[in-house]
């Protein structure tokens, strides 16, 4: 090692030790805002400067963008052009493809195998359904649902044992257990689903195709069976992995196999930011890494992002977790304001507080671009979206669909739109396409009958209409029209209408269409509760239209100079930062979510999610804690335990009474669920 080598940017002592680590396994516990990206890139540059060939270094991340950025930074530090650097870099999936393109024939694939995208996978599953069960009933899960369920089973349950003990076609990755635990509404279809999964895998094999999960599965099989003879594996001397806390079991197994010849595996991550178990990430990978690999452990605890006051509150929160590496983030940045906790009544009061506080911060010189509102679920931002619209505050929903633009919400409101305007073509087309056997062409023909008649007549006597309804759609058509007739009473409120639509027709549609239907059901409850603020159908629909027109997309925000407030889930906010962060919805049963209260493991992941939210803030952290929950199970649930766990001296608490706010809850909802 060349001791005279110096870094272009000064590193603190802990960072320097990591950069200079040479041989053997290592775990870097990189706290939020601790400069891990700079450390990783400078370590790569240091290895190359020390004589390690760039082509023998593998840098793995979870996005190609992050991998490219790290590789480019390392290239600049070497003083070479980016296109001249030879560092192997990419995601797990891109590197899997690279290995398999070279050696696929060992697994009886051609090197020119096809990679299926999401649409391709759905089409192949659709074909497997047709071959195994023919024409499924209306409530049978759609190919998109099955694709998600099959993928989750793989990501949670694929192990080296499952890969080695059975052939490709027979691997079902404990699909039965997953359905029993997570998708009980699919249990009646289990036998058929196993047949479809098997046929789907047969068809992928026969067509020389792999989906994204296959890339990892086949990469692991390749390494387990033929690893010692793979030239690309022999080429590797050093492996660096970012965001290791987000790996699943199969990814950890792949890394173990890649590192066997040299053991030079450095993984970087933060156990306190492990928040993706719902998509298969295994928290145990990072917790058990030191003992399992006899690894040296480094800690990065100096935070370069947040004020000392924000970090103090975040530390106080995460210290309630029992399964974690001991850590205590600190900051040498100037002192700032304590995080503010607003104790409120419900989401409408919460929205008013957020509006008032962001306006105050803007008056102090902070732009909307420097602020963000974080929440656990998009449903928690629904009222806020309305209040921001009414106040003329431009906002975007980052990397997600706006609450009122979600497919199931638009489906439900389409029923109300055709009641208000019987010749609303867009709403009718949406309703008609819910029926089996009716696509755009048939739906358009049906609507033309409505237009020609200048009215919508859904009676049996309407021969022009009846001729257009396909035989396989007639039962569902009768159900839909019956539901519409039930909505014609003059005394029904928008809230009651939504309840009738969901009860009489849409619930079955939703559970067959979406793999996360149980979560979407909470959105439906919330929509009904929200609509209770409006006594007339006209007022409710007008509000929805205004909200929809005020929201800009990520792309639109990038293309315009206008300041824009960011609304995002905490999961989507990971890795981002803002000067001012509002965290809303800290109500027990919502955050932490009711489903997480069953086990300590789930509860601690919820607390890690709260920790991630707090550590996105640089200067200002505002937390809203309503005592009333919204949506399913609405009631006085009380403030989140994450608020009561914070010492009084770590936050500034402001208590608001209901009379402080102008937003009215309106008429009480009548629930039909």
SS (H, E, C) 386-425: HHHHHHCCCEEECCCCCHHHCHHHHHHHHHHHHHHCCCCH
Rounded (10°) CA dihedral 382, 383, 386, 392: -110
Q: What is the mean pLDDT of residues 469-481?
A: 86
Residue 257 pLDDT: 94
Task: Out of 35-44, 120-129, 358-367, 548-557, pick the least confident.
Answer: 548-557
Using the predicted structure, report yes or no on whether residue 224 has a pLDDT greater than 80.
Answer: yes
State how beta strands 238-241 and 57-61 pair: parallel
Using the predicted structure, report yes or no on whether residue 264 has a pLDDT greater than 90.
Answer: yes
Contact 666, 534 (CB under 8 A): yes
Task: Out of 167-176, 223-232, 283-292, 450-459, pick the least confident.
Answer: 450-459
Half-sphere exposure of 35 (CA within 13 A, CB side): 21
Residue 611 pLDDT: 96
Residue 99 pLDDT: 92
Confidence (pTM): 0.81
Q: What is the mean pLDDT of residues 89-106?
A: 90
Contact 255, 265 (CB under 8 A): yes
Contact 301, 34 (CB under 8 A): yes
Task: Out of 299-313, 484-498, 542-556, pick the least confident.
Answer: 542-556
Could you tell me which of 482, 489, 492, 507 has the C-alpha nearest to residue 411? 507
Distance CA 265, CA 288 (A): 15
240: β partners = 59, 266
Residue 636 pLDDT: 60
Using the predicted structure, report yes or no on whether residue 624 has a pLDDT greater than 60.
Answer: yes
Q: 63 vs 415, which has greater pLDDT?
A: 415
Could you tell me which of 294, 293, 269, 296 has the C-alpha nearest to residue 283? 269
Q: 559 vs 87, which has greater pLDDT?
A: 87
What pLDDT, in 10s, does the model give residues 8-31?
A: 568 899 999 999 998 999 999 999
Q: What is the mean pLDDT of residues 36-56?
A: 89
Q: What is the mean pLDDT of residues 249-263?
A: 93
Helix (H, G, I), strand (E, B) or coil at 335: coil
Q: What is the mean pLDDT of residues 372-397?
A: 88
Could you tell me which of 15, 57, 60, 63 has the C-alpha nearest to residue 39? 15
Residue 567 pLDDT: 94
Q: How confident is the model at residue 368 (pLDDT cuts 50, 70, 90)?
A: very high
Q: What is the mean pLDDT of residues 562-570?
A: 90
Using the predicted structure, report yes or no on whether residue 167 has a pLDDT greater than 60.
Answer: yes
Residue 6 pLDDT: 42
Distance CA 83, CA 63 (A): 19
Distance CA 402, CA 422 (A): 26
Residue 200 pLDDT: 95
Using the predicted structure, report yes or no on whether residue 449 has a pLDDT greater than 90.
Answer: no
Q: How confident is the model at residue 4 (pLDDT cuts 50, 70, 90)?
A: very low
Using the predicted structure, report yes or no on whether residue 362 has a pLDDT greater than 70.
Answer: yes
Residue ranges of alpha helices (H) inside 141-275 are 143-157, 160-165, 175-182, 190-206, 212-226, 231-235, 249-259
Q: What is the mean pLDDT of residues 123-137?
A: 89
Q: What is the mean pLDDT of residues 143-170?
A: 91
Using the predicted structure, report yes or no on whether residue 443 has a pLDDT greater than 80.
Answer: yes
Could you tell me which of 104, 61, 103, 89 has the C-alpha nearest to residue 210? 104
Tokens of 305: 């992002």
Greatest CA separation for the chain: 92
What pLDDT, in 10s, does the model give residues 296-333?
A: 999 999 999 999 999 999 999 999 999 999 888 999 99
* Whole-number average pLDDT of the chain: 85
Q: How confident is the model at residue 439 (pLDDT cuts 50, 70, 90)?
A: confident
């Amino acid at each position: 090692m060349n001791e005279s080598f110096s870094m272009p940017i000064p590193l603190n002592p802990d960072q320097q030790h990591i950069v200079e680590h040479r041989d053997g396994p290592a775990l870097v516990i990189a706290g939020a805002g601790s400069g891990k990206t700079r450390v990783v890139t400078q370590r790569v540059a240091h290895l190359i400067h020390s004589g390690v060939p760039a082509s023998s270094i593998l840098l793995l991340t979870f996005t190609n963008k992050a991998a490219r950025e790290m590789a480019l930074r390392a290239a600049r530090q070497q003083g070479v052009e980016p296109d001249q650097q030879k560092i192997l870099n990419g995601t797990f999936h891109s590197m899997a493809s690279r290995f398999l393109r070279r050696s696929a024939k060992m697994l009886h694939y051609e090197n020119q195998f096809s990679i299926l995208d999401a649409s391709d996978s759905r089409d192949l599953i659709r074909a497997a359904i047709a071959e195994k069960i023919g024409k499924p009933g209306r409530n049978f899960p759609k190919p998109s649902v099955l694709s998600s369920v099959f993928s989750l089973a793989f990501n949670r349950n694929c192990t080296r044992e499952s890969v080695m003990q059975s052939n490709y076609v027979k691997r079902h990755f404990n699909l039965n257990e997953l359905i029993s635990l997570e998708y009980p509404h699919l249990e009646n279809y289990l036998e058929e689903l196993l047949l479809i999964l098997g046929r789907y895998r047969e068809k992928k094999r026969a067509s020389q195709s792999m989906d994204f999960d296959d890339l990892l599965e086949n990469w692991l099989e390749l390494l387990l069976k033929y690893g010692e003879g793979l030239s690309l594996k022999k080429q590797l001397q050093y492996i660096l992995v970012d965001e290791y806390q987000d790996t699943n079991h199969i990814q950890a197994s792949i890394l173990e196999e890649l590192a066997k010849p040299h053991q030079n595996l450095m993984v970087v991550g933060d156990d306190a930011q492990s928040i993706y178990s719902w998509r298969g990430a295994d928290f145990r990978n990072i917790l058990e890494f030191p003992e399992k690999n006899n690894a040296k452990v480094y800690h990065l605890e100096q935070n370069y992002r947040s004020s000392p006051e924000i970090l103090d509150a975040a530390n106080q929160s995460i210290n309630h977790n029992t399964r974690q590496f001991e850590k205590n983030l600190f900051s040498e940045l100037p002192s700032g304001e304590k995080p503010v906790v607003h104790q409120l009544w419900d989401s409408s009061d919460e929205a008013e507080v957020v509006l008032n506080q962001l306006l105050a911060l803007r008056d102090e010189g902070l732009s909307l671009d420097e602020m963000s509102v974080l929440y656990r679920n998009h449903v928690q931002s629904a009222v806020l979206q309305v209040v921001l619209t009414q106040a003329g505050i431009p906002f975007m929903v980052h990397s997600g669909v706006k609450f009122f633009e979600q497919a199931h919400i638009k489906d439900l409101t389409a029923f109300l739109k055709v009641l208000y305007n019987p010749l609303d073509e867009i709403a009718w087309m949406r309703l008609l396409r819910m029926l089996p056997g009716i696509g755009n062409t048939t739906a358009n023909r049906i609507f033309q009958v409505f237009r020609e008649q200048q009215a919508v007549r859904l009676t049996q006597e309407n021969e022009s209409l009846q001729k257009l309804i396909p035989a396989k759609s007639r039962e569902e058509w009768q159900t839909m029209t019956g539901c519409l007739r039930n909505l014609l009473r003059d005394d029904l409120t928008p809230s009651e209408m939504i309840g009738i639509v969901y009860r009489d027709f849409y619930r079955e549609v939703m559970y067959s269409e979406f793999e996360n239907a149980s979560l979407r059901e909470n959105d439906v409850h919330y929509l009904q509760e929200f609509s209770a603020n409006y006594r007339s159908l006209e007022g409710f629909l007008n509000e929805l239209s205004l909200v929809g027109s005020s929201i800009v997309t990520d792309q639109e925000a990038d293309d315009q100079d206008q300041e824009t407030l960011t609304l995002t889930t905490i999961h989507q906010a990971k890795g981002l930062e803002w000067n001012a962060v509002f965290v809303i919805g800290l109500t027990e049963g919502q955050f932490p979510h009711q489903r997480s209260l069953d086990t300590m493991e789930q509860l601690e992941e919820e607390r890690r999610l709260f920790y991630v939210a707090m550590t996105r803030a640089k200067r200002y952290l505002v937390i809203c804690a309503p005592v009333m929950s919204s949506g399913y199970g609405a009631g006085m649930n009380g403030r989140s335990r994450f608020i009561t766990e914070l010492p009084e001296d770590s936050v500034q608490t402001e208590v608001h009474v209901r009379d402080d706010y102008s937003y009215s809850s309106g008429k009480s909802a009548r629930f039909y669920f």
